[in-house]
């Protein structure tokens, strides 16, 4: 039992490291070759994990081999347009200038109901609002609405919004994020002073954030 536990933990750590090296894509954003390698890694890890009679190296070595294969294919994919087309395929236009391409739907084996579901996932609820719908190589559908249906932006009214930047977490669950403090050019003395305005100390805060406008959000831990 102990051996099985140790083998499982070791394989888990190795798979975790391998998947981390492979990148941060979500499952729905993986290219076909990435998804295939991920499935194979899971299968290879499960075999020696379930059967202690199989040497653990029988799982580790093939997993590392797949990692090397993935890195090699990714390199080729980045360097060659032709290889990219073979490995990842090409985007398919499902709706062109407001008209649904029936042949493209049949080729990709997508029903009208599935197309409508994907459009709703892009906050488009009427087919008549779509100018282009493109099936990407990852399986996601990108939607370009007709000009008169698109959400207005400040630029449409010749308005230039103030710069907002990104919010920084300064305290998370009572722990000070020192690196983020350095990023905004502040120190702990400044942090204590600002958090003190909310009648608490940094270690008492659940979360403290600082945005590009200098606004601070602070909430105390229960």
Confidence band of 29 (pLDDT split at 50, 70, 90):
low
User: Six-digit token pair at 176?
Assistant: 């000070």
Euclidean distance between CA atoms 26 and 117, whole angstroms: 20
pLDDT in the model for residue 27: 54
Tell me the pLDDT tens digit for each residue of 137-194: 878 899 999 988 878 778 778 888 777 778 899 999 999 999 999 999 999 999 999 9
Can you tell me the distance from the alpha carbon of 63 to that of 3, in angstroms, rounded to the nearest whole number? Answer: 20
Taken in order of first residue, the domains within the chain and their CATH numbers are 2-86 (no CATH), 92-149 (3.30.240.20), 168-220 (3.30.240.20)
What digits encode the pLDDT tens for the residues 48-97?
777 777 788 888 888 888 888 888 888 887 888 787 777 777 899 999 99
Alpha-carbon distance of 39 to 37, in angstroms, equals: 5
Q: Cβ distance 44 to 55 under 8 Å?
A: no
pLDDT higher than 70, residue 28: no
pLDDT at position 188: 93
194 neighbors 145 (Cβ within 8 angstroms): no
pLDDT tens, 120-131?
999 999 989 999
Query: In the prediction, which pLDDT does 196 show?
Result: 93
The larger pLDDT score, comparing residue 44 to residue 217, is at 217
């Amino acid at each position: 039992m102990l051996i099985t536990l140790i083998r499982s933990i070791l394989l888990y750590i190795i798979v975790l490291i391998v998947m981390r090296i492979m990148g941060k894509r979500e499952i729905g954003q993986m290219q076909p070759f990435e998804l295939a390698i991920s499935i194979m890694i899971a299968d290879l890890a499960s075999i020696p994990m379930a059967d202690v009679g199989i040497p653990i190296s029988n799982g580790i070595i093939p997993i590392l081999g797949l990692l090397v294969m993935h890195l090699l294919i990714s390199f080729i994919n980045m360097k060659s347009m032709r290889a990219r087309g073979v490995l990842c395929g090409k985007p398919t236009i499902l709706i062109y200038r407001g008209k649904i391409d029936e042949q493209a739907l049949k080729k990709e084996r997508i029903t009208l109901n599935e197309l409508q579901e994907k459009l709703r996932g892009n906050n488009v609820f009427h087919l008549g609002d779509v100018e282009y719908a493109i099936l990407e190589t990852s399986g996601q559908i990108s939607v370009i609405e007709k000009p008169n249906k698109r959400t207005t932006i400040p630029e449409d009214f010749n308005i230039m919004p103030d710069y907002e930047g990104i919010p920084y977490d300064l305290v998370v669950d009572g722990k000070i994020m020192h690196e983020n403090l350095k990023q905004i050019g502040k120190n702990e003395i400044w942090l204590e002073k600002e958090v003190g305005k909310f009648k608490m100390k940094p270690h008492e805060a659940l979360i403290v954030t600082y945005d590009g406008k200098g606004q601070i959000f602070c909430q105390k831990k229960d």
